[in-house]
Every structure is written in C-alpha cells, then in structure tokens.
Amino acid sequence: MHIKTKMIGAALTAALLAGTSVMASAETLRWARAGDSLTLDPHSQNEGPTHALAQQIYEPLISPDMEAKPIPALATEWSVKEGNPNVWVFKLREGVTFHEGQDFTAEDVVFSFNRAKLESSDMKELLVTITEVRAVDDYTVEMETEGPNPILPNNLTNLFIMDKGWAEENNVTEPAEFDDGEETYAVRNANGTGAFKLVSREPDTKTVLARNDDYWGIDEFPMEITEIIYTPIQNAATRVAALLSGEVDLIQDVPVEDLQRVADTDGLKVENAPQNRTIFFGINSGDDDLENDTVEGANPFADVRVRQAMNMAINREAIQQVVMRGQSAPTGVIIPPFVNGWNEELDRYPAADVEGAKALMAEAGYEDGFEVTLHCPNDRYINDEAICQAVVGMMGQIGITVNLVAQTKANHFPLISGKQTDFYLLGWGVPTFDSEYVFNFLVHSTTEDRGSWNGSRFSDPEVDAMIQSLGSEVDLEVRNQTIADIWQKVQDEVIYLPIHNQVLNWGMKENIDFAVQPEDQPHFKFLQFN
C-alpha cells in the first residue's frame, strides 16, 4: 500500500508538471484535495467529497451557501400546505435546463426523490418520513410526510435532482450499489442543472468541468471560473508541493505541519474555519462475537466497562497537540457545536487515565487484554492515519493490542456500511444541523431505511421509537428533550469514542477571494478572483 501510494504520488507530480508548462488563464481553477469523489451517481454515497463534486454539477431544491445557510436553488420557495401540516409545498424554478438540454420540471423532482428512497441509495435516511412525492403541475411539488415534519427542508441540501428521461435512457433509474462495486452509466457520467458541466472523468486521477453558460444563475453568482481541473492528490507532501509550485491553485486539506510554510509563501494564503464534522471511533458492541479479535466465543466490546476503559485511555489533548498541531477541538460527543442538541455538558470528555482504564479492563475480566484489528482511512480526514496510529499506542497501554489496517476511503467505507469491521475510524458532518440526522444514520438499529452507518450494531427498540418520533414532533420543547434523552443513552452506553471536531484549512493563491465553507464544500460559482 505504501509503495503504491508513493508511485501514485510521483506519477501525479509528473502529470501535473507536464500539464502546467503553459500558465492557465485566470478563469481556470486547478483544485486538489486528498481524496476523490467516490462516484458521480448523486444518490449512491452520502460522503463529503462526493457531495462537493456533485454540488458543482447537480443541484438540490435547496442549496447550502458558503456559510452553509440554506438558499433557493431548484426550488424558489417552500412552505407547509395551508390546512394540512403533513404536506410541504415546493415551488420550482422555471426555465431551467439540464446540461444536455432537457427541461427541468416537477417530474424530475418526483423521480429523483423516489430514486433516493430506494434500498441502494445512501441518502434514504434523509427521506424516511416522506410517504409520497407528487407533482401538482410542472412547477409545483408536494411532499407528504407521516406526520408534521418541521425540519424537512433541512434534509434536502444534498439531495440532487436528475433528469428522469436521461436516467431511463441510460438505464440508471436505481442508484448504483457502491458496496458491491456496481458500475453504471451514472457512476462516471452526469447530466445536472448546476453551474458546471462534466467534460471528462478519470476516477482518482482527474476530473474536468466547464462553466455552464446556460446556467439559470449566470447573472446571480460571480461565475468567474470557466474551467475546473480537479485532481485528487493523496500524498500530503505532493499536494503541498503542487500548491507551492503553482501547479494547483487551491487545496482543501493543507497538512497541519505545513500551514505556516504555505501561509509564509509569497502569493499564497491559508483560510480556515471550524468544520461541521466530528472524528470518532466506532466499536462493535452489538455482536455476540467479533471477527477481528483474539477472544473466542465472546465480544469484549459488549462490556460497557471495556468501552469506558477505551474512552479513558484516549489522550485527546495529546492528539490535539502532537498529531493535529493545535488544529482540532477535542470533544466528548459525536456532534459539533453547530448542531441542535449539542451542549457543553455533552462536549466534556474524560481525562486520560491509564491506571483507571486498566482497573476497568481487569474488572471486566480482561486484565491480560486482547488483540483486535482497527480499520482506518488514509485519504479522507485530516491526519486520519496518524490519529489511528496514536490511538494504537494508547490502547496498547491498557492491554489492547491493535493491528492497524489503513487504506483508501473507497475500500474503508464499505467495511462500515457492510458491517465487516469491529473497530474503525469515521468522521460525520451534519448538513441538517440537527441531531436527528446523526441518530438516523449512526444510532438507530439497522433497518431497511435507517441505521445504514451504524457499525456499532447498537440496537434499542425504545431509542429507535424516540428517534422515529423526531420526524413528526412539532413541539420543539418536547422534541429537544427527546434529543437530550437519546444523547444521554448514547453517552451512558459509550456507543462511540469521540476524538475531536475538525478545523478546516484551505490553501490557495492570494488572488482568490473564497471563504472556507463549514461543511468543506466549495461552491465554485461563488469564487472570485482579485
């Protein structure tokens, strides 16, 4: 894996050098980050870099802006239907065309939402309360929910609209099965309504986009970029070198050890902001036995004392200072402060206490420890593999021998959603800014439409019922109390091991005027050149 990574890094450097012998015009943006989009199928994967690329090509009804605030996109207005609190009415933008010339209508919205609710979609948890999506006329859509859902619009900012006819013609009426590696036309091709059109796609190598001169918002947004060349560069040193040499114009993930170097380089600058994302470890506490440990016939993670010991063994402040160089905010809960349901009490984390953790391990019957495998991505989060390496050492101090397997996110994520890992690193952003989003994906029992990323295997019918009630509770005081009760259960059971909230650092040329977006989604139609 390491040899391959170095070879890829060298190849990318050569390719970048070859492609930049002639300076690009100011309208071309060369954009890089550590990992690529997993797929162009807009409903197949609910993953940050995947959405970041999709946001350039496709559009939702309601879009996040560069402050992550919702603004009209393909819907111009939305409201609860008068006389029926179970129905949301969306007025659609008229005169919009897809990149291949098809007219955008309500039919496309109905199709896209029904597609996103299918089993192979990774977006279905966002739509669990919707019972029907119907077209009233060409530019009006009604969405009916099981009960009044006051926050439904919050769930739609990454729910992209496809052209129904295009999907039918290309046999992509269902989302591609990402975990099975299914290849469909929509995986490598796209036809959206967004500010940029897909020109070419080479996964993990290069994607080229061109400005959509027929875009409905051509006069509403700066739209100063005519071409985007997107290059994933996994190797951190190669990525920074590309920025320092002028081979790329903007990188989203400046390594923390290189922040000052980039900031001190003439013609470059670093912009930063707290991210709406928490990094944490998941542990399989639900299965009777583990596949990846040395304890026969039992699951040591099923004992809450072991989970408490692991939580106490993690020195979050050391990770912040040594691994993250101060560029993180240690936390005790798997939601950032942006999110409804967060409070300072939840945010508190246990002080690192090796002796106390050892005592808990002995009390649980694991004084001699055990061995287990930890799965970690190496191209998704800031210093993801280094965080895992640090925690390997911390677990070793309490007798848990951890075998680290670090690999690309394309191989890592299916292990979690496919329930094939017992101990893993994951990061979770909350685009709805509400705890229900976290509960639906990470806490609810895994069912057909919820709990798809619940690699902990935690399952509690009472908690499930509370989670389900959030989608139709209109009394915000009651709803917030339910959220607090669910978090109390999550914390008491130590379902996850929170580490920190990320801080975003984007490096860019000094002539670029572009603020950091809290969800790490650059919407390039907003970018301006000085």
pLDDT tens, N- to C-terminus, the chain (530 residues)? 233 333 333 334 444 433 443 334 459 999 999 999 999 999 999 999 999 999 999 999 999 999 999 999 999 999 999 999 999 999 999 999 999 999 999 999 999 999 999 999 999 999 999 999 999 999 999 999 999 998 999 999 999 999 999 999 999 999 999 988 999 999 999 999 999 999 999 999 999 999 999 999 999 999 999 999 999 999 999 999 999 999 999 999 999 999 999 999 999 999 999 999 999 999 999 999 999 899 999 999 999 999 999 999 999 999 999 999 999 999 999 999 999 999 999 999 999 999 999 999 999 999 999 999 999 999 999 999 999 999 999 999 999 999 999 999 999 999 999 999 999 999 999 999 999 999 999 999 999 989 999 999 999 999 999 999 999 998 999 999 999 999 999 999 999 999 999 999 999 999 999 999 999 999 999 999 99
What does the alpha-carbon distance between residue 420 and residue 179 come to, in Å, rounded to a whole number? 11
How far is the CA of 142 from the CAs of 80, 107, 121, 193, in angstroms?
9, 12, 21, 21
Contact 12, 239 (CB under 8 A): no
**Where along the chain do the CATH 3.10.105.10 domains lie?**
274-503
Q: Residues 53, 246, 1, 374: is their CA dihedral positive or negative?
A: negative
What does the alpha-carbon distance between residue 277 and residue 498 come to, in Å, rounded to a whole number? 11
Neighbours of 276 (CB within 10 A): 25
Provide CB contacts within 8 A for 411, sequence distance 6+. Answer: none
**For 291-433, where are the E strands, in sequence order?**
328-330, 370-377, 400-407, 423-429
How far is the CA of 244 from the CAs of 113, 238, 268, 353, 510, in angstroms?
43, 10, 8, 42, 12
What does the alpha-carbon distance between residue 423 and residue 282 come to, in Å, rounded to a whole number? 6
What does the alpha-carbon distance between residue 527 and residue 525 come to, in Å, rounded to a whole number? 6
How far is the CA of 184 from the CAs of 102, 115, 189, 503, 522, in angstroms?
21, 15, 9, 35, 27
Tokens matching residue 317: 């402040």
Tell me how many degrees the CA angle 500-504-510 measures, rounded to the nearest 5: 160
Contact 189, 197 (CB under 8 A): no
How far is the CA of 430 from the CAs of 47, 197, 273, 329, in angstroms?
11, 27, 16, 17
**For 164-305, where are the E strands, in sequence order?**
196-202, 206-211, 227-232, 250-251, 268-283
Closest CA to 129 of 429, 473, 432: 473
User: Residue 131: what pLDDT?
Assistant: 97
Of the CA atoms within 13 Å of residue 274, those in its CB half-sphere come to 11
What does the alpha-carbon distance between residue 148 and residue 156 come to, in Å, rounded to a whole number? 16
Of the CA atoms within 13 Å of residue 455, those in its CB half-sphere come to 27
Domain 274-503 has CATH 3.10.105.10: yes
User: Residue 335: what pLDDT?
Assistant: 97
Q: What is the largest CA-CA distance in the chain?
A: 69
Euclidean distance between the first and the last CA atom of the chain, given in angstroms as a whole number = 41
Q: Under DSSP, is residue 521 helix (H, G, I), strand (E, B) or coil?
A: coil
Contact 78, 84 (CB under 8 A): no
Tokens matching residue 141: 């859509």
What does the alpha-carbon distance between residue 272 and residue 179 come to, in Å, rounded to a whole number? 33
Closest CA to 315 of 434, 417, 257, 395: 395
Closest CA to 140 of 110, 163, 117, 116: 110
User: Residue 11: what pLDDT?
Assistant: 39
User: Residue 122: what pLDDT?
Assistant: 95
Closest CA to 507 of 272, 287, 335, 308: 272
What does the alpha-carbon distance between residue 489 and residue 469 come to, in Å, rounded to a whole number? 16
Contact 145, 470 (CB under 8 A): no
Of the CA atoms within 13 Å of residue 507, those in its CB half-sphere come to 31
pTM comes to: 0.86
User: Residue 26: what pLDDT?
Assistant: 55
**Where along the chain do the CATH 3.90.76.10 domains lie?**
42-47+59-178
Closest CA to 126 of 115, 111, 137, 138: 115
CATH number at 42-47+59-178: 3.90.76.10
Report the b/e string of 280-307 with b at 16+ CB within 10 A.
Answer: bbbbbbbeeebebbebeeebbbbbebbb
Q: Residues 237, 253, 341, 347: is their CA dihedral positive or negative?
A: positive
User: Residue 527: what pLDDT?
Assistant: 98
Tokens matching residue 161: 């609209």
Under DSSP, the state recorded for 124 is G
Under DSSP, the state recorded for 160 is B
